[in-house]
Amino acid sequence: MSPRPLQIAFITSEMAPLMKTGGLADVSAALPRALARLGHKVTVFLPRYARIPFPPGDFAGSVHVPVDASPRSAGYYRRTLEDGLEVVFIEHPPFFDRPHPYGPSSNEEYGDNRLRFAFLARAALEYLRSRGQRPDVFHGHDWQAGLVPVYLKSFYWDDPALHRSPSVFTIHNLAYQGTFGGDTLDVLGLPWHFASGEALGHNGGISYMKGGIQFSEMVTTVSPQYAREIQGTEMGYGLDGTLRGRGGDLVGILNGVDYGEWDPRHDTYIAAPYSADDLSGKKKCKRDLLAAMGLPEAPSLPIVGIISRLVAQKGFDIVVDSWYDLLQRPIRMVVLGTGEPRLEQGLRSLAARAPDRFALRLEYDEALAHKIEAGSDVFLMPSRFEPCGLTQMYSLRYGTPPVVRATGGLYDTVEPWDPSTGRGTGFRFDNPDGTGLMWALDQALSAMKDRAAWKRLVRNGMEKDFSWDRSAEAYVAVYRQAMEKV
Ligand code: ADP
């Protein structure tokens, strides 16, 4: 007999394509669908941000949601997407009717984020409580949903509807911890003992991320290697001790790729389709990319592609600092990204030194991202840390071997090329500096000279399967473990 399907409440602050700043949005779009394919019933809770058209679905009532002393209520709008996935939009214009999810720009935070995301967590719980629906498990994502386990273990533990509900908390990026002032628990009305270092107390403040870690039944993060790394001081961002304490309940599950969106065999953004058996279309994609970036045609010069948020985590300071060495190599580079002004400026200066070989687009452009995956010869990801990373998995499927720093999900998904055995899918370097970066890039450039071997490397990558189905099964196992713990 197959085990009973699960009812899962999935609370997230991003979901592609409705609201996306990074990989969390892709996960929130793909994992619930993969869970549904396995027969489980998922309800996704998402704020109704300004850019999501109103009404976002059918009105499904409103409920008083107490987060601080002010009276507030959430309006709920339920929409069943074409493929059957149910999304409940949480409407509270004073908090969410804003163009950006976390701050006026990607470098700034809104001053009321502690209330906004307490509201998200509590409004999701109130929706279910008011209907008398107890899901089998709650699944919260990143600090924005970190209070879900905290509320479950406090106000709702003895609730007639939600009593003793288990939760799973997923860390997509430990660097963003949602740490607020020491008065936050008073403001939220949570008991004072939640302020202890065993609970949400963190460096004199209150961390929602820590709350999610400490009060959920199971904690997951998005790759096995990142699960190990965050238990150490270097990558633990001050929460390594907390994570070591939960080490027995901490599981790394790789994100999957949505191959419906990211597959060169049927990608409508790219100039020509291609596959591992017939790579001829990739040449057209390369020409198309050069044209899109305004670079001259020169088929023999390899293209190094980059698509990324331009933040310290992603290691682009290393690229900027390596400008001299990079310009010595017979390569062209195409960069698509937005982020910190100092990195944008650094890349601009690099591009200005060789405008015929280095092209930069400081914007967010989905179509161009696909063209870069398809039209590049290698894909560069020099991350200082990388919880999972999606773009290197895309590049494997697009026959664009990745050159990556050996960290987190990059370590788990890119196997070093070994010409003596013909095994491997890309190139890894250990030291996050120019020497490491150039060493790995040079390995790629020299491997490219042996066309037959390079083809083998390209095919090895294209044949890798990081589909969501396997990851979803791993999440189900974690959900069941969480359910057994309460
Ligand atoms: P992170 O979540 O840390 O930003 P991931 O590699 O997990 O990194 O996910 C990044 C996602 O965002 C990928 O789908 C990538 O294609 C996309 N992306 C990042 N920057 C841009 C951009 N400037 N234009 C288009 N897509 C982008």
Domain housing 383:
281-462
Are 147 and 93 found together in one domain?
yes
Number of domains in the chain: 2
**Residue found under tokens 């998402």:** 46
What amino acid occupies position 104? P
Are 225 and 297 found together in one domain?
no
Whether residue 208 lies inside any domain: the answer is yes
- For the segment 296-353, what is each residue's pLDDT rounded down to a tens digit? 987 789 999 999 999 989 999 999 999 999 999 999 999 999 999 999 999 999 999 9
Are 479 and 442 found together in one domain?
no
Our separate counts of H helices and E strands in the chain read 18, 18
369 C-alpha vs ligand 1 centroid, how far in Å? Answer: 8
Whether residue 1 lies inside any domain: the answer is no
Whether residue 42 lies inside any domain: the answer is yes
Are 354 and 208 found together in one domain?
no
Whether residue 118 lies inside any domain: the answer is yes
Report the pocket of ligand 1 as residue ranges, CB < 6 Å: 22-23, 26, 307-309, 336-338, 364-366, 369, 388-391
The radius of gyration of the chain from alpha carbons, rounded to an integer in Å, stands at 23
Ligand 1 pocket mutation pick from 170, 310, 364, 371 by most atoms within 8 angstroms of CB: 364
What pLDDT score was predicted for residue 297? 87
Q: What is the mean pLDDT of residues 271-281?
A: 97
- Is 106's pLDDT higher than 80? no
Average pLDDT over all residues of the chain: 96
Whether residue 54 lies inside any domain: the answer is yes
- Give Cβ neighbours of residue 322 (< 8 Å, ≥ 6 apart): 434, 437, 438
Q: Whose CA is nearest to atom 20 of ligand 1?
A: 308
Q: Whose CA is nearest to atom 9 of ligand 1?
A: 23
- The CATH number assigned to the domain holding 13 equals 3.40.50.2000
What pLDDT score was predicted for residue 2? 67
Q: What is the mean pLDDT of residues 261-278?
A: 97
- For the segment 175-216, what is each residue's pLDDT rounded down to a tens digit? 999 999 999 999 999 999 999 999 999 999 999 999 999 999
Q: What are phi and psi of 293, to 5 degrees?
A: -95, 0
Ligand 1: which atom is nearest the Cα of residue 381? 6
**Contact indicator for 81, 38 with CB cutoff of 8 Å:** no
Q: What are phi and psi of 94, to 5 degrees?
A: -60, -30
Q: Whose CA is nearest to atom 15 of ligand 1?
A: 391
Are 181 and 247 found together in one domain?
yes
> Distance of CA 56 to CAs 47, 116, 120, 124, 374, Å?
10, 19, 16, 16, 34
Are 448 and 475 found together in one domain?
no
Are 437 and 452 found together in one domain?
yes
| Cα 413 from Cα 420, distance rounded (Å) | 20
| Cα 484 from Cα 283, distance rounded (Å) | 53
- For the segment 357-388, what is each residue's pLDDT rounded down to a tens digit? 999 999 999 999 999 999 999 999 999 999 99
| Cα 332 from Cα 199, distance rounded (Å) | 50
| Cα 102 from Cα 420, distance rounded (Å) | 49
Are 243 and 353 found together in one domain?
no
- Residue whose C-alpha is closest to residue 448's, from 478, 409, 403: 403
Are 96 and 185 found together in one domain?
yes
Whether residue 265 lies inside any domain: the answer is no
Model confidence at 83, pLDDT cuts 50, 70, 90, reads confident
Of 444 and 99, more confident: 444
Whether residue 261 lies inside any domain: the answer is no
- Is 77's pLDDT higher than 60? yes
What pLDDT score was predicted for residue 418? 97
Q: Whose CA is nearest to atom 19 of ligand 1?
A: 308
Ligand 1: which atom is nearest the Cα of residue 338? 23
- Reading the block at residue 394, the tokens are 């895309």
Whether residue 272 lies inside any domain: the answer is no
Per DSSP, the residues of 238-272 read T-HHHHHHTGGGEEE-PPPB-TTTS-TTS-TTSSS
Ligand 1: which atom is nearest the Cα of residue 16? 14
Q: What share of the chain is helix, strand, coil (3-state, %, to 5)?
A: 40, 20, 40
Are 306 and 236 found together in one domain?
no
307 C-alpha vs ligand 1 centroid, how far in Å? Answer: 7
Are 238 and 359 found together in one domain?
no
Model confidence at 3, pLDDT cuts 50, 70, 90, reads confident
Are 160 and 235 found together in one domain?
yes
